[in-house]
Amino acid sequence: MDKQALRERIWDKLDESGTARFPFPPHGRIPNFDGAADAAERLAQNTAWQEASTIKSNPDSPQRPVRKRALAAGKTVYMAVPRLRDEACFLRLDPDSIDDYDHATTINGSFEVGEQITPEAMETIDLIVSGSVAITESGGRIGKGEGYSDLEFAILRECGLVDDETTTATTVHEIQLIDDEVPEAPHDVPIDLVVTPQQTVRDERREKPSGLRWTNLSEERIDEIPILQHLMDEQ
């Protein structure tokens, strides 16, 4: 099945079942879902989470409980600047310098209390938590279709901040689990750890993309993302 058709199917099912949560509608975004906090709680019981001191998370609503739990546990949280629009393309949330974790894990709050930094100023990432529209049993992730999550991983790998041993995780609702065969491109980042409010569905490491695939990046995309220009100049 076409990836966009799969997205539409999942968005519709979340909407029609009453499982979707604010912001509405779930369509066109990483959808929030009933039980997101329970999924974050289950993720926090996993060894990969407990051993991580640094976490890179997406900024979307369903993973906000993950970000709050991470800060409360004393973990440094990194988030990408929307569309990687600046060369200092990541935000660092330092739990020791934040008083209000609830505010810090909102989009606006993260910019107010977070420090905007370049990849060179980041620590090695122990765990990546990505939002998903759908996820296959083998860990094939389907995002909202813009490709930024995979690009962020490639940039971090290019900078030596992640590798094959970096655990990738997602928290989703059961509705978002699919058994469809979905083709995976070489730049697609597989998910090792899949957690729902009720269960840990998958906990098995897979090989990750080795870095940026310059031939797959258009001149337009490179021109609009400063960190790509910087990394290209360094080659």
Residue 96 belongs to some domain of the structure? yes
Radius of gyration of the chain measured on its C-alpha atoms: 17
Residue 6 belongs to some domain of the structure? no
Mean pLDDT, the chain, rounded, equals: 96
Q: CA angle, 76 as apex, 71 and 82 as ends, to 5°?
A: 95
- Going by pLDDT thresholds of 50, 70 and 90, the confidence category of residue 23 is very high
- The answer on pLDDT for 188 being more than 90 is yes
Q: Residue 129: which CATH number?
A: 3.40.50.10420
Residue 76 belongs to some domain of the structure? yes
Predicted structure pTM score:
0.96
Residue 17 is which amino acid? Answer: S
**Smallest Cα–Cα separation from 93: which of 82, 103, 104?**
104
Residue 118 belongs to some domain of the structure? yes
Residue 119 is which amino acid? Answer: P
Residue 10 belongs to some domain of the structure? no
Residue 9 belongs to some domain of the structure? no
- The answer on pLDDT for 140 being more than 70 is yes
pLDDT score of 60: 97
SS (H, E, C) the chain: CCHHHHHHHHHHHHHHHCCECCCCCCCCCCCCECCHHHHHHHHCCCHHHHHCCEEEECCCHHHHHHHHHHHHCCCEEEEECHHHCCCCCEEEECHHHCCCHHHHCCHHHHHHHCEEECHHHCCCCCEEECCCCEEECCCCEECCCCCHHHHHHHHHHHCCCCCCCCEEEEECCHHHEECCCCCCCCCCCCCCEEECCCCEEEECCCCCCCCCCHHHCCHHHHHHCHHHHHHHHHC
Q: Provide the domain limits for residue 221.
A: 34-234
Encoded tokens for 85? 């629009």
Residue 29 belongs to some domain of the structure? no
pLDDT score of 234: 86
Residue pair 145/132 in contact by the 8 Å Cβ criterion? no
pLDDT in tens, 76-119: 999 999 999 999 999 999 999 999 999 999 999 999 999 999 99
Helix axes 64-72, 36-43, angle to 10 degrees: 40
Cis omega before residue 25 (within 30°)?
A: yes
pLDDT score of 65: 98
Residue 38 belongs to some domain of the structure? yes
Residue pair 129/63 in contact by the 8 Å Cβ criterion? yes
pLDDT score of 1: 65
pLDDT in tens, 27-82: 999 999 999 999 999 999 999 999 999 999 999 999 999 999 999 999 999 999 99
Average pLDDT over residues 192-200: 98
- The answer on pLDDT for 191 being more than 80 is yes
Considering the chain, what percentage of its residues have pLDDT values greater than 70? 100
Encoded tokens for 11? 């968005």
Number of structural domains (the chain) is 1
Average pLDDT over residues 203-227: 95
